[in-house]
C-alpha cells in the first residue's frame, strides 16, 4: 500500500526541513511513501481562522479518494507508545485502502468536513507543538514504528 503524507503550508525553518528529509529518506527503505506540501491558501492573512480551515479542508479533501484511509494528526487523536503505534501502523497497512494518507494540518486544525471524512486521528503528545515541528516528530515516529516492525535496533526497550 502506498503511504502519503500531506503537510498544509511550508516549513520555514531550515533545521526542521533537514530533519524531515533524513527520516523521509530512511522511510523509503520500508514502504512506498511520499511527502507533499499542500500550497498555502491565497490571502490567508485576510481570512478568519474558520474560513482558513474551510479553504484548507477543501484542498485536503480534493486530494482524497473514497478508497483511501485518511488519518489526521490532531491533538484530540489517539495516543500510543512507540511500540503500540508500530502495531497500529501494521494494522492500518493491512486495511483494504488504496492509499493510507496522513495529514498534518495548518495552525488552526481541520474543518468539520475533514473531521467527518477522516478514518482516524492521531496525537503525538498531550503537549502542543507547532504544526511545523509535528512534521519532523511524525516522520521520526513513523520511521521508529517501521524499524520496530522489522525488529531492527533503532528503538531501545
List the pLDDT tens digit at each of the 157 positions of the chain.
999 999 998 888 999 999 999 999 999 999 999 999 998 888 877 888 898 899 999 999 999 999 999 999 999 999 999 999 999 999 999 999 999 999 999 888 899 999 999 999 999 999 988 888 999 999 999 999 999 999 998 888 7
Q: pTM of the entire structure? A: 0.94
Q: Which residues of 104-123 are buried (b: 16+ CB within 10 A; e: fewer)?
A: bbbebbbbeebeebbeebbb
Give the structural domain span for 27.
2-149
| Residue 17 domain flag | yes
Residue 137 lies in a domain: yes
Structural domain count, the chain: 1
Residue 65 lies in a domain: yes
Does residue 155 lie within any of the structural domains?
no
CA–chain centroid gap for 35, Å, is: 9
Specify which residues 7 forms β-bridges with.
37, 104
Within a domain: residue 99?
yes
Domain presence at residue 114: yes
CATH of the domain at 56: 3.40.1280.10
Amino acid at each position: 500500500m502506498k503511504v502519503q503524507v500531506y503537510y498544509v503550508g511550508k516549513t520555514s525553518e531550515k533545521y526542521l526541513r533537514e530533519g524531515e528529509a533524513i527520516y523521509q529518506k530512511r522511510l523509503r527503505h520500508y514502504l512506498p511513501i511520499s511527502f507533499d506540501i499542500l500550497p498555502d491558501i491565497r490571502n490567508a492573512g485576510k481570512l478568519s481562522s474558520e474560513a482558513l480551515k474551510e479553504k484548507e479542508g477543501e484542498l485536503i479533501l480534493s486530494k482524497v479518494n473514497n478508497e483511501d484511509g485518511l488519518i489526521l494528526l490532531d491533538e484530540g487523536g489517539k495516543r500510543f507508545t512507540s511500540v503500540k503505534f508500530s502495531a497500529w501502523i501494521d494494522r492500518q497497512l493491512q486495511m483494504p485502502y488504496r492509499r493510507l494518507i496522513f495529514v498534518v494540518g495548518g495552525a488552526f486544525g481541520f474543518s468539520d468536513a475533514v473531521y467527518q471524512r477522516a478514518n482516524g486521528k492521531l496525537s503525538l503528545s498531550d503537549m502542543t507543538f507547532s504544526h511545523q515541528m509535528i512534521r519532523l516528530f511524525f516522520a521520526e515516529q513513523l520511521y521508529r514504528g517501521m524499524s520496530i516492525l522489522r525488529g531492527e535496533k533503532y528503538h531501545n526497550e
